[in-house]
Amino acid sequence: MGQRKLRRWIVSGGAVAILLLVMSAPAPASTSSVCANAAPCNDNYLDSLELNKPGTKLNRTITLKDFRDTSTATVQSNVFNPCGAASCPPGPGEDTSCDGTSYGKTIWYDFYPDAGGTVLIRTSAFFQNVIALYTFNNNPNSPSYLVPIHKQCAVSTLGAGQLVAPVKKGVAYTFQIGGVDSAQAPTGAGGQLETLFDFIPTPPRRLTAQSTLTARATSSGIELLNLTVSTARAAKVTVSCGRYCSSESKKDSTVETFGKLHGVQMPAGSTLSIHVTAPHSIGVLIQYNVTRGNFSKQTFCTEPGSGKPRTSCH
């Protein structure tokens, strides 16, 4: 059971085992559980399996895999019942329609992205099934606490389903899988079902920057005359030259000029550094290395949120 979903009901005296997909193995992680009742352990909304815990990293290196027999899974008329307590609050019934296709015998999973990206949810079964992705409010002080908000769904083809969806950092997600209704299974098909889950974080964007430095040669190094840096409007440009000048930062313009550097004397062996940064972006580090009467220029990519050079710009 998702801990965020469980917390309110524990306070009132309920207790249900928490199940978590194992994510430490180098091979695809999988889980299977023996439940106290006949239905799957994640049959009910509040008993959803967590793919990660809130505030922890969602696995992005291996495919998470789960096997369930949904033959005895059910559909809830109130997603907050059962809740592990003697009395449960009223809630909405499960949504069991996807683009005009009805389904039943549902199971549930939760996940909490620690970064923006894309999820790929796949199913494999000998029956048609539906994948439905929802967000839910996991703030216990909100009137809409835990209520699922439908986002999108997909109906499988010959039992093989796939749903690809963008997800946001800090948002709580839950997804529901059920078997399609038919004349032979009017309350939804069920049986052996495999679920696979992949998370692909959005790669950071890469900043670009160009700089022009003019200087006059001196007997011991150079005298700075002018520095101009061109980059994206939202980027922050920070210039420093150690003890030879005060650090200066500017942003919100595509072309930044640093007139305060005019006349600054820099001896051979010193370095003028330009850091170009923006949130969630691969930054740029430009270094001017001063020699006697001249300078050389080097450009590096830096880690997002850090001035540390990275081995690759991709």
**CATH value at residue 124:** 2.60.120.380
Q: 61 and 197: one domain?
A: yes
pLDDT at 28: 47
Same structural domain, 177 and 220: no
pLDDT at 58 exceeding the cut of 90 = yes
**How many residues can be counted in the chain?**
314
Q: Assign residue 289 the CATH number of its domain.
A: 2.60.40
On whether both 145 and 9 belong to a single domain, the answer is yes
Report the distance separating Cα 143 and Cα 64, nearest Å.
33
Cα–Cα distance measured from residue 133 to residue 65, given in angstroms and rounded to the nearest whole number:
17
**DSSP character at residue 43:** -
Per the structure, how many domains does the chain have?
A: 2
Is 60 contained in some domain? yes
Pairing of the two strands 160-167 and 117-125: antiparallel
Domain termination site, one of 201, 218, 234: 201
281 pLDDT exceeds 80? Answer: yes
Q: Band the pLDDT of 77: cuts 50, 70, 90.
A: very high
Q: 50 has which bridge partners? A: 20, 110
pLDDT for position 5: 63
When pLDDT is averaged across residues 64-74 and rounded to a whole number, the result is 97
CA dihedral (219, 223, 229, 234) in degrees, to 10, reads 120
Residue 14 pLDDT more than 80?
Answer: no
> Both 97 and 133 in a single domain?
yes
Q: pLDDT tens, 176-191? A: 999 999 999 999 999 9
pLDDT at res. 31: 54
Neighbouring-strand partners of residue 281: 205
Give residues with Cβ within 8 angstroms of 61, minimum separation 6.
none
- The verdict on residue 125 lying in a domain is yes
* Ramachandran sector of residue 152 (left: φ over 0; alpha: ψ -120 to 50; beta: rest): beta
Q: Where does a domain end: 153, 170, 201?
A: 201
Give yes or no: residues 212 and 187 share one domain. Answer: no
Q: What angle do CA 89, 95, 98 make, to 5 degrees?
A: 170
d(CA 222, CA 87): 79
Residue 79 backbone zone (phi > 0: left; psi -120 to 50: alpha; other: beta): alpha
Q: Are the beta carbons of 92 and 147 closer than 8 angstroms? A: yes
Mean pLDDT of 65-83: 95
Is 310 domain-assigned? no
Residue 313 lies in a domain: no
Same domain, 26 and 145: yes
Residue 48 placed within a domain: yes
DSSP 20: B
Residues spanned by the domain of 278: 205-302
Question: Stretch 81-95: mean pLDDT, rounded?
Answer: 91
Looking at the structure, tell me whether residues 194 and 209 fall in a common domain: no
Q: Is residue 314 part of a domain?
A: no
As a whole number, the mean pLDDT across the chain is 88
77-81, 84-88, 272-276: the lowest-pLDDT one: 84-88
Kindly state whether residues 246 and 175 are assigned to the same domain. no
Shared domain check, 153 and 30: yes
pLDDT recorded at residue 49: 96
For residue 15, tell me if it sits in a domain: yes
In this structure, the answer to whether residues 113 and 143 fall within a common structural domain is: yes
Q: Which amino acid is at 313?
A: C
Residues near 71 by Cβ (< 8 Å), separated by ≥ 6? 105, 190, 191
pLDDT value of residue 20: 34
Tell me whether strands 101-111 and 97-98 are parallel, antiparallel or unpaired.
antiparallel
Residue 13 has pLDDT above 50, yes or no: no
Q: What is the pLDDT of residue 134?
A: 97
Question: Residue 37: what pLDDT?
Answer: 58
Confidence label for 142 from pLDDT (cuts 50, 70 and 90): confident
Domain end marker among 201, 216, 233:
201
242 φ/ψ sector (left φ>0, alpha ψ -120 to 50, else beta): left
Question: Has residue 69 got a pLDDT over 80?
Answer: yes
Over residues 106-120, mean pLDDT: 96
Residue-wise pLDDT tens digits, 227-262: 999 999 889 999 999 999 999 999 988 999 999 999
Minimal CA–CA distance to 48: which of 90, 4, 12, 85?
A: 4
Peptide bond connecting 140 to the previous residue in cis, omega within 30 degrees of 0: no
Residues 196 and 214 in one domain: no
**Do the domain assignments include residue 33?**
yes
Percent of the residues in the chain that have a pLDDT greater than 70, as a whole number: 88
Tell me the C-alpha distance between 156 and 193, whole Å.
12
Distances (CA, A) of 296 to 115, 265, 289: 38, 16, 5
Distance between CA atoms of 287 and 239, rounded to whole angstroms? 10
Q: What mean pLDDT is predicted for residues 64-68?
A: 97
Band of pLDDT at residue 141, cut at 50, 70 and 90: confident
CB atoms within 10 A of CB 220: 14
Q: 187 and 267: one domain? A: no
